[in-house]
Each structure stands twice: as structure tokens, then as C-alpha cells.
Chain A
Amino acid sequence: MSFLDVKDLKIHFPTDDGLVRAVDGLTFSVERGRTLGIVGESGSGKSVTSLGILGLHKGGRARISGEILLDGQDLVAMSAEQVRGLRGKRMAMIFQDPLSAMHPYYTVGHQIVEAYRIHNDVSKQVARKHAVDLLGRVGIPEPGRRVDSYPHEFSGGMRQRAMIAMALSCDPELLIADEPTTALDVTVQAQILDLMRDLQREFNSALIIITHDLGVVAELSDDILVMYAGKCVEYGDAEDIFYRPEHPYTWGLLGSMPRLDREPTERLLPIKGSPPSLINVPPGCAFHPRCPYAERTEGRASTEVPDLAPTERGHLVRCHMPRTERRALWENEIKPVLETQ
């Protein structure tokens, strides 16, 4: 059994306009010391998944079913109080926008100390020393002085470092980073990605990184899960997803991105249309209205939901097209176009 096992997770929100199926049957697992990247566009359910794992939908109006097993304990079945005892200690989160995730009235040090003392019975002095250590470890200069600064006195990159320090304060075994670098400039993003990679190695925690940026995913992830309309459409290790992708949506994502590591193309190859509303997910394969190969499935695309089926060891694809056809399409049509780029 893996350290984190998510089985058939469904998170639905009843609204006046209908049921929002934000996460609809998601299964994955992460081991200690491994990094899972979850990619998808806005509204694909990736952030709802992360909040669900942390139990932050509890007490809300969300309907949650399935299992989230953290080291064997089912978080879905636990009470909000019990999950609270784990949050911060065994699992922690790094949010996208550190300015709104930190309290503007308290010093950075105070906020780290608070998180640490909730789970550890230590004096304020000990906790403060721990906070200074952590700030130094995430690369904040003069941590002894900066521990008494307020979040607004930090720059964007430093704030994100402070957030990481806070998340790490109790040595969590599971760390979820939701778009950790989206709000940052590219030179600072590179610093933060390096830091996360080093810290993960040091702490040997399980890391889930959620992003829309395939470049960031490629930098950090061991395994990648591609989400579309609340479902996983493709799952595999980083090399499967980048060198042997089999889902037309993954192809579309790869074709949409201008790349610096290839010669520039004349044109990008976008996916037509736009992502569906989660209230009105298209029947059958949710991607079929945008899929250029939908007619190859003899009408099944719009009536049957395809299974997430293994194509080879550990590589799962949710598509009606037979495996041989997908492979042939990738090798003969998609890959040559992407690579001449």
C-alpha cells in the first residue's frame, strides 16, 4: 500500500444551477519521496482535489465519497476534528498566492510558531528558534531578523519561501503545492523549484504539485496525472507523458505550448473549443466535443464513458480508440509535427 491512496474520490457541490461534479472518480497514489504532478486547465478539478485531501471541504456543502487513505487511515470517514489534528503535522499545503494565504496582522515568525506549537508541546522560545532555523533553511537572508517581519515587508519570492517554511514546520510527510510558482517571476520561480526539489529530497516526503504549466511539472515530477473535467484522462511517469502520450488531450496540451527548447514553429496547434462547465459535462468522453479523433470511435465517444485502462506498465489512458491506433497516431502524425517544431 502506498503512503497516500486516493480511491474513486468524488467531490460534488450541489448548487442552484445543478450539481457541480468537480472531481468525479479520481484514483491515484503517491509514495514517500515521490512527486506527483497534477496538470489540467482551470476548472478541471485539480485544486478541489487538493483541498479535499486536506479535508478543507468538510463542514461545507460538498458531497464527498470514495476513500483518501493517508498511511492507511481514511480521511473521508474521519471527523473534521480528527483531520484537523493531521493537518499541518502529517500533511501541509503550499498555496499559490502567499500574500493572501498569510495573515497580514501577524509577523511571519508568529505564524510559523503558531503552526508549530499547535502540534508540538514546546515553549515559545524553542518554537521561535525552530522558526528561525526554518527560515534560514528555505534561503531567507538574516533569518534572525526577518522572523519579526510582516508578510508585506517580504518580496513575492521571499513570501513564498516563508510559506514553504511554514508548511515544513512540523515535517509533514505529505506536502501539496497548489500552483506554487504561478504568481512569481521566472527567475524567482526557478529558485523556488530548486528549493522544493532539494527540500523534498531532504525530508523524503510525498509531494503533490498542482499546476497548469507543463514545464514546471517536467522539472519536478516523477509521475504525472492529467485531469480533464474532474477525471483523470492520462496517468504515467514523466517520460510516458512527455515522450509517449496517448490521450488526444495530452497531445493538445503539448501542441498548444510554444517551446524554448525547439526551433520556433509557424503555428501552434491549439485544442478547439473551450473546457466544459462542470455542471454540464458532455456525455460519454468529456473531451469528445474538442477531440479531433472522436469520429473514429463509431459514436461511442458521445455515449460511453471510456475506462481508464492500462496501456503498458503503469501508464493509464482514458480513451475509446484502440491502443494500437493511438500509438500509430502519436508516432506517425502527432510526434513528427511536434518535433519539427
Chain B
Amino acid sequence: MNARAWSPPARSSVTLLRPSSLLGALVVILLLLSAVSLSVGRAPLDVGAAIAQWLRGESTLATLVLIELRVPRTVLGVLVGASLGLAGAALQGLLRNPLAEPGIIGVSSCAAFGAVVAFYSGFSLTAPLALPLAGIAGALIAVLLLYALAGREASTLTLILAGVAINGFAGAATALALNLAPNPFAVTEIVFWMMGSLADRSISHLQLAAPLMIVGWVLLLNSGRALDALTLGEDTAASLGVRLGRLRLMLVLGTALAVGSGVAVTGAVGFVGLVAPHLLRPLVGHQPSRLLVASALAGAVLVLAADIAIRSITVGPELKLGVVTALIGAPFFLLLVMRLRRAVI
């Protein structure tokens, strides 16, 4: 019997939807939010007219704002949200820990540190690809470190403590790197790297991050069946034909690629990878393989909705994306902690 042929018994759940209808609903919401995202902004842009002009091949101010500003922002929001949702679901499956999330366990902040070093040293000016690659390297170190500290059968507490330490160290290293950067603006930009933002990102940022991100997605999405088997424990999964070493490698690399390349162009956006899988888990019958795609879609919906909210507030300078996701995600995190406590008692 191999992992592909194996399928766990569906848990009884009153809220269980047919897979296609759940994914269909998420895709419809995502498309609607994308349309809203294209039409929200400071300038009074007639999106319909702009699209018509663009289709006719005209180059006007409206098409410029649409294609160079709003499309990259929307697409990048979708990609980064999907990466975080997907990575959150995959990490929770790999570590069999409900609180695993790229932000909480320090993967995002290590990726930010890598990107900061590549960016402020001027290295990414000469070799643009160095920016996402450095982000990926930072994320990779964090995931490996975490796996070494809290990988096998570790308690939730161990994972969170390891995350606190990694987050603290990466944050301090980022602050140090920004202090040493020659540019006086660098120090104030820690807010961008810690909180994340999609403001004024361009097509070039999208081109840098998207290919590596999608490679990460492929690795993560292909691990679904093995993650299902892993819910029964490592030994059982191994006896079912799951090659654990290969699975870990795929998930570690996939997370690093998806999260690292995203953080390198938008900064670290927290809590998306926590909220998205938890909201969707009951709806997919607690089955990791089905959770992956659903969580990716939900992550994209969350980030897009948060970014639309930010752009709808027209007073003062723009909020950082992580401010909104943390305002929603942190209470959610507390709720989860309380529920876990109750379960333990």
C-alpha cells in the first residue's frame, strides 16, 4: 500500500461541504475581491474604461495606473496571501502543531533579515535575484532550526518558545543590519520589514518573487497525501509508505521558497498562515490534503481584504498590512491558546 492509494476516513462533521463547492466559493470570493482591489485607490480611476483602453492597446494615464500600480498590488497580495495560507497549513501538518505559522515561529522574520542584508548592502541593486534568494535563505535557516528544536513530537509550548527565540533574534539582527546600513532612512524602514506592505510595489517586484514562490507552492501542494498519512503519527505514516525524509525536505524547501520570496518584496505579514487554515479546517473534514488548496485561497482572500481595508482609509499615511492582519489575527491566536488550554485540562 502506498501513500497515494491511502485515504483516511472522513470525520463526521455537520459543516462538511463538498470539496468542489467550498473551493468554488473561495475562488468566487477571491475574484470579487480582486475586482474591488483594482477599483480602490487614491486616484479616481474608471477601471472599466482603463481595461477597455488597455485591451485596445492604448497607453494612457488610466492604463498606466491600472497596469503599473493596481494590478501588481492586487496580484502580489493574492500570491503572498496564498503562500502564507499554504505554508501555514503545511507547517501545521508537518509539525502536527496547531499554532505553527510562518510569522509566529519566526520564518517570516528570518526571511526579512535575509532580504534586509541583500537590499541595504546594495547587493540586490547589481543582482536583483539576490533579494528573493536571500529571503528564501533566511526562511530556510529558520525552518531548519525549528525542525531541529521542535520537530518530532514536540509540545506546542516547545514550538512557540523556539519561535519566540527565533523571532527575537531575527528582529534584533534586522534592527542591527538597518542601523549599520549607510542610508539614514534605513532605520525607520524596520516597520516595513516587520509589518509588511503592498504599497507602490511594481511589476518588477512581482517578476522577482512569483516564479520562486510558485516552485514552493508545487512542493507544498504535492505533499498533501503524505500529510494525511502523517496525521496518524510518523511510524504509521512510514508503514503506509510515506518517505518521511523526502516529505520533510519538500515541506521545508517549499515553505522557505513560498514565504521567503514573498517576504523579500512585501515584508513580513503576520497571522495569515494561522487564521486561514483554522477557519477552513472544519470545512474540509480536518484533512490536510484538502486543507492546503483551501487554506491558500483563504490566505489570498484575507490579505486582499486587509489591503482593501487599508486603501479605503484615506486619512493620513497608509497603514502597514501587518497592522490589519495582526489586529484580526492576534485575538484569534489568543482564542486558540485558550481553546488548547481547555483541551489540555
Q: Do A and B come from one complex?
A: no
The residues of B with any CB-CB pair to A shorter than 8 Å are none
